[in-house]
Amino acid sequence: EAGVVQSPRYKIIEKKQPVAFWCNPISGHNTLYWYLQNLGQGPELLIRYENEEAVDDSQLPKDRFSAERLKGVDSTLKIQPAELGDSAVYLCASSHVTGAWQPQHFGDGTRLSIL
């Protein structure tokens, strides 16, 4: 089966500019996650979707970050405006259904660099 697809792989922008990331989960996976991974750290959850509903966005900085998952398939994560501290890798993951025992399958991530 095809894995989780993310684009772009790399993005370089100047601070205060907007940026968007796209994620296509594994076909049939209802649950989608966005993570932030700083250098030398494990991923940290930003938002979790069950189908098209955001069920956990408690760690999403809503003043500048937004996300959507229209039709419960693809998802986009947006930052506006970007700040220097947003430089990181943004990972998308999906799982078949929601459940703590369900393994999450990750995309290759988008590496964001803010100048």
Partner 1 sequence: AQSVTQLGSHVSVSEGALVLLRCNYSSSVPPYLFWYVQYPNQGLQLLLKYTTGATLVKGINGFEAEFKKSETSFHLTKPSAHMSDAAEYVCAVSYFGNEKLTFGTGTRLTIIP
- Residue 7 in the binding site for partner 1 (CB under 8 A): no
DSSP 66: E
- Residue 85 in the binding site for partner 1 (CB under 8 A): no
- Residue 22 in the binding site for partner 1 (CB under 8 A): no
Residue 89 burial by CB count (10 A; 0-12/13-18/19+): exposed, middle or buried? middle
- Residue 48 in the binding site for partner 1 (CB under 8 A): yes
CA distance linking residue 110 with residue 89, whole number of Å = 5
CA distance linking residue 42 with residue 3, whole number of Å = 21
- Residue 39 in the binding site for partner 1 (CB under 8 A): no
The residue among 44 and 68 lying less far from partner 1, judged by its C-beta, is 44
We find the least distance from the C-beta atom of residue 43 to partner 1, in angstroms, to be: 5
Name the segment binding partner 1 (CB under 8 A); options: 2-10, 12-20, 61-69, 74-82: 2-10
Backbone angles phi, psi at 21, to 5 degrees: -120, 150
We find the least distance from the C-beta atom of residue 85 to partner 1, in angstroms, to be: 19
